[in-house]
Amino acid sequence: MGSGLMNLPPSILNNPNIPPEVISNLQAGRLGSTIFVANLDFKVGWKKLKEVFSIAGTVKRADIKEDKDGKSRGMGTVTFEQAIEAVQAISMFNGQFLFDRPMHVKMDDKSVPHEDYRSHDSKTPQLPRK
């Protein structure tokens, strides 16, 4: 299978809006495929979110975070088929306006596999023993 690094198109590799650590994690297969979207207009529902972000790739799921009364909290998540589509969505939509509000789009911290956050030689932090 080769070196395990994903070949990325220049539109991703040379994009100043994508941090270098995101590109290296994407190449190494250490990114999830879910993005977090904040500052959404409260009238944006999951269908609109899915429709908009489908421009970046195949959307498997779109969700709007709601309060206990079922009202939008102005944020949501979008899960794509592939991690590269999530990165493409960040590149395309972060700072773009939807219903007069600029969206804040980033990788969803909860979608990244936890074991990838630790280096191979580090151990899981332990509480001190008494």
pLDDT at 63 over 50: yes
Domains identified in the chain and CATH numbers: 33-109 (3.30.70.330)
> Tell me, what's the pLDDT at 8?
81
The overall longest dimension of the chain from CA atoms, in Å, is 56
Answering whether pTM is above 0.95, one says no
Q: Is 104 helix (H, G, I), strand (E, B) or coil?
A: strand
